[in-house]
Amino acid sequence: MTGPISLAVIVIARNEEKTIHDSLASCLEAVSLARNSGLLERGEVVLVDSASADRTREISSHLPVRIIAIPPTWPLSSAAGRFVGLRSTDSNYVLFVDGDFVLNPPWLCSAIRAFDSPSIAAVCGVDQESLKGESAISRYVDELSRRMVPDADLVDTQAIPVGLYRRDWIERAGGIQPFLKGAEDRDLALRIRMKGGRLLKTREVMGTHYWSPGADLDLVEYLRSVAHWSYGEGQAARLANDDPRIREAYVKRYANARQLAQLLLGFAGLGWGCTVGLAIALGSPPLLILCLGGGIGAVVATAMGRRESITESIFRLHQVPYVLVRQGGFLLGLINRPRPATDYPRAGIDTPRSPAR
């Protein structure tokens, strides 16, 4: 970081009335801390609302933020929200935040100071999860987030869902594709890395993500998230079919030995479930007993082989729908090539200005 900078905090939201006040308030506090530290010359918080049907915009209107309302007739997605937010601001730095994410305000100062080289394109930090841990899938997601805490204060990372970007690096990489259904952060990160930009992650906590405020995460919600980002990655791979390096990166993520093994497991699980259903439909107790016995035997054998509990081995079966949803979503996205970014609408958007800060 070479001197005071201008910053736009772009908060994207759709029906986030439970968290939007805390999310925006945390961003406003972060901007204030950075300005008081002499790190910001100018800063604003912008809410890009994707046609919320709840009180998201009403709640936000009581805070000193600029609200951009995307009409319900426009294509809606997190990618579209970020795209519109970028298009509606002119700062040289951009902080992307989701409406279900509450920032740790002091982290912004640390992130700004981390830009000590022109090759650094973006910085993120450690995400905390708000999950209660009452369901197996929420404990699993929480454990995954804990594994992603770096050992050093600052390390290179592969993608930045929530984080601080240099705008010129976003533009150099080709910007954000607004028609992606998901994974726009990974797509942008990949293109930035291909251009020689570095993505860094601090060991400091960046903030807290709220999957289901007041509730626990269930498998259906988790798989819905998987479907969105895998579909988006398929779309991004289709767009990049003329760049062999990007195409190769996606092939490595979806067509490797580990993914093949998981896919075979998924088909085996699907076949087992279909056979059990057939046995029930035919009223065949011998076939049903054979299938159930085989399934139980497989679980017990897995538990013994991995030296884990039966409960842990049963939970491992969530990989069956996970891999089928992930691979299926990617293939569907690959088939459906998104429209070019220049096709995204421009006129008729509501962009009231925020009070001066």
Average pLDDT on 193-222 reads 86
Q: Among the residues of 156-218, which ranges form H helices?
A: 167-172, 184-194
Place of tokens 């404990």: 139
Alpha carbon distance 130, 111 (integer Å):
22
Count the Cβ atoms, other than its own, within 10 Å of residue 93: 21
Q: What is the pLDDT of residues 298-315, one digit of tens each?
A: 766 766 776 766 666 666
Residue intervals in the chain for CATH 3.90.550.10:
5-217
Q: How confident is the model at residue 171 (pLDDT cuts 50, 70, 90)?
A: very high
> What is the three-class DSSP state of 76?
coil
8 Å CB contact between 1 and 34: no
Average pLDDT on 9-27 reads 96
Q: Which one is predicted more confidently, 356 or 233? A: 233
> Is 356's pLDDT higher than 80?
no
Average pLDDT on 313-337 reads 83
8 Å CB contact between 131 and 216: yes
Task: Decide: pTM greater than 0.75.
Answer: yes
Per DSSP, what are the bridge partners of residue 238?
none
Per DSSP, what are the bridge partners of residue 94?
8, 165
Average pLDDT on 235-258 reads 81
61: DSSP letter: T
Q: What is the amino acid identity at position 206?
A: M
- Assign residue 79 a region (left: φ > 0; alpha: ψ between -120 and 50; beta: otherwise): alpha
> Is 355's pLDDT higher than 60?
no
Q: What is the pLDDT of residues 101-151, one digit of tens each?
A: 999 999 999 999 999 999 999 999 999 888 776 777 777 777 778 888 888
Nearest Cα to 181, choosing from 352, 30, 50, 311? 50
* 327 Cβ contact partners less than 8 Å away, ≥ 6 residues apart: 230, 254, 259, 263, 266
* Segment (H or E) for 180: none
**57-71, 172-186, 256-270, 278-292: range with lowest mean pLDDT:** 256-270
Q: Are strands 66-70 and 198-209 parallel, antiparallel or unpaired?
A: unpaired
Q: Give the pLDDT score at 357.
A: 43
CATH number of 5-217, picked from 3.40.630.30, 3.10.20.30, 3.40.1640.10, 3.90.550.10:
3.90.550.10
Place of tokens 């057939």: 278
Q: Are strands 120-129 and 40-50 parallel, antiparallel or unpaired?
A: unpaired
Extract the tokens encoding 3.
């001197």
DSSP string covering 114-153, please?
Answer: T--STTEEEEEEEEEE-----SHHHHHHHHHHHHT--SSS
